[in-house]
């Protein structure tokens, strides 16, 4: 499966290479497209570009590697396995309920915060419990990673989605909020129904196959004489055995636990992880640019301004740490490492045990980390073009699209956003590039265009192999791209059409 992902990434890049040989690069300004001829990707670039992509977007790789390290430490304590066992026992007989809760939780967190990559740290935890409930890989992938991507489609207040749209297109944070909420409810219900219904069909099919195998075995094997059984003996029915190991845990080979699973407490782990998420959300969500909340800025200034005998103690002690609301991936990486240290301290791991388990977890996650960086290979090329102002082939194609209609057209804008999503897997750069075409719209049309672009971007990230989260999820769960597309294409098509329909209705009002 890992080679399948590498093949898909390679084909995606080759498509871009092919287009670079036939589509001229262009720049769009003042309602006019200017082209300067083709700028083909040469043979040397076929090697250099992927390397540059990994170097440019190495932080993606580091984030996923550190997530693996964090889980390596949690597994070492024995608390991780016991925590998931508690969930499994709590929902014994109502596994579907846990599946639905997982999906709704992931969609809500993604929609409200927009912190999709940091939220990936929750995926292994919930996946471990879902695997123990005997759900298959594709179902678990959809319930976790798929739900995070759905949250992008139906983003309500997420700064990394709605916030970018607000700032680049000069819209309000609550732009089209009622339409967003309607789409949120409709698509979440549809997605939950799709995943649950598919899981039930797979479980039913697996049961039928099992029964057929039993019948065949009974016909082939000679009948055995049954031992005498007392009439008073009660018949017992056995439930399907729970999985004791899972690919969702951080390391391939089970680590010898430090503490006995029966004795270790899960309360400390739950509290530490909860606090980590609270700090991450407070630190990474830009409160000022979203809602003009400057309380964290004032707190930061007050703390850093404290001096003892003229020496700025906190400014020097915490130098280099950004204030809440301005945290990025680097701060989140540091937070995860610090969290892993706290867990190791609370559960009494010595230094060697901590380092070994952290490295073991990173090794397990390393393929996922590398693929996540490689997913941005096309963006790496376009990023350089945007920086130099040389123009891109994306602008040339979009320019021709927008020339087909004067003013705002939901279908053209939707197709443009979907097409651009293949090349720009980061919404910030997509909005930056496409804003040249839509800012000429009137305020009412621009408001609808903002909703349309961010929602269709989410649709693109759910299906295109340039999506960092999707590629990371496929690699982590060892699911082929083709299998995922076969599973999700109907929902994605409906979601795309529903978004277009909603924006079309808004245009007519």
In angstroms, the CA 125 to CA 60 distance is 20
Helix (H) or strand (E) holding 235: none
pLDDT at 232: 45
> How far, CA to CA in Å, does 147 sit from each of 199, 236, 279, 462?
15, 39, 22, 10
pLDDT tens string 396-408: 999 888 888 888 9
**Cα angle 482-499-142, degrees, rounded to a multiple of 5:** 35
Euclidean distance between CA atoms 203 and 213, whole angstroms: 15
Q: What is the model's pLDDT at position 229?
A: 47
Instruction: State the Rg of the chain over Cα.
Output: 26
- Say which DSSP state 171 is in: -
Q: How far apart are CA 253 and CA 265, in angstroms?
A: 23
Can you give the pLDDT at residue 367? 92
Q: Show the low-confidence residues of the chain (pLDDT under 50).
A: 229-238, 244-248, 250-255
Q: Residues 171-177: contacts with CB within 8 Å, 24+ apart?
A: 171/446, 171/447, 171/450, 173/290, 173/291, 175/447, 175/450, 175/451, 176/447, 176/448, 176/450, 176/451, 176/506
d(CA 2, CA 194): 26
Phi, psi of 119 (to 5 degrees): -70, -15
User: What pLDDT digit, counting tens, does each position of 432-487 carry?
Assistant: 989 988 888 888 999 999 999 999 999 999 999 999 999 999 999 999 999 999 99
- Determine the pLDDT at residue 431: 93
The model carries a pTM of: 0.88
Counts for the chain of helices (H) and strands (E), in that order? 24, 2
- The single-letter DSSP state of residue 121 is G
Q: How many CB atoms lie within 10 A of CB 307?
A: 11
């Amino acid at each position: 499966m890992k080679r399948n992902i590498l093949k898909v990434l390679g084909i995606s890049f080759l498509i871009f290479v092919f287009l670079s040989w036939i589509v001229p690069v262009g720049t769009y300004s003042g309602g006019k497209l200017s082209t300067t001829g083709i700028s083909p990707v040469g043979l040397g670039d076929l090697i250099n570009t992927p390397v540059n992509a990994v170097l440019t977007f190495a932080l993606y790789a580091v984030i996923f590697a550190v997530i693996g390290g964090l889980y390596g430490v949690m597994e070492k304590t024995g608390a991780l396995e016991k925590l998931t066992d508690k969930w499994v026992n709590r929902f014994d007989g109502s596994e579907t309920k846990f599946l639905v809760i997982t999906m709704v939780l992931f969609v809500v967190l993604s929609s409200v915060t927009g912190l999709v990559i940091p939220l990936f740290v929750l995926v292994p935890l919930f996946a471990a419990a879902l695997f123990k409930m005997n759900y298959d890989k594709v179902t678990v992938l959809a319930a976790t990673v798929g739900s995070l991507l759905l949250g992008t489609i139906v983003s309500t207040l997420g700064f990394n989605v709605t916030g970018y749209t607000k700032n680049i297109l000069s819209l309000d944070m609550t732009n089209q909020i009622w339409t967003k909420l309607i789409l949120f409810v409709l698509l979440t219900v549809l997605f939950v129904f799709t995943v649950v219904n598919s899981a039930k069909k797979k479980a039913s099919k697996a049961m039928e196959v099992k029964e057929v195998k039993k019948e065949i075995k009974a016909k082939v094997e000679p009948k055995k004489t049954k031992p005498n059984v007392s009439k008073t003996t009660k018949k017992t029915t056995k439930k399907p055995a729970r999985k004791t190991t899972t690919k969702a845990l951080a390391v391939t080979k089970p680590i010898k636990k430090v503490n006995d699973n029966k004795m270790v407490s899960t309360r400390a782990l739950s509290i530490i992880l909860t606090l980590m998420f609270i700090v991450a959300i407070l630190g990474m969500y830009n409160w000022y640019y979203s809602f003009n909340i400057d309380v964290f800025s004032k707190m930061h200034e007050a703390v850093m301004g404290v001096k003892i005998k003229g020496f700025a103690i906190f400014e020097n002690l915490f130098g280099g740490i950004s204030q809440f609301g301005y945290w990025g991936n680097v701060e989140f990486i540091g937070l995860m490492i610090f969290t892993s240290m706290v867990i190791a301290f609370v559960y009494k791991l010595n230094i060697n045990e901590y380092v070994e388990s952290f490295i073991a977890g990173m090794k397990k996650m390393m393929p996922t980390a590398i693929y996540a960086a490689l997913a941005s290979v096309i963006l790496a090329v376009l990023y350089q073009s945007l920086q130099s102002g040389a123009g891109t082939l994306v602008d040339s194609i979009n320019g021709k699209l927008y020339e087909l209609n004067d003013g705002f057209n939901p279908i053209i804008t939707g197709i443009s956003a979907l097409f651009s999503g293949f090349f720009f897997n980061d919404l910030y750069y997509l909005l930056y590039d496409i804003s040249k075409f839509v800012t000429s719209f009137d305020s009412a049309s621009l408001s609808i265009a903002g909703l349309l672009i961010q929602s269709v971007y989410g649709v693109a990230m759910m299906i295109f192999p340039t999506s960092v989260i999707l590629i990371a999820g496929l690699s982590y769960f060892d699911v082929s791209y083709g299998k995922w597309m076969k599973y999700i294409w109907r929902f994605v098509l409906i979601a795309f059409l529903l978004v277009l329909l909603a924006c079309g209705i808004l245009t007519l009002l």
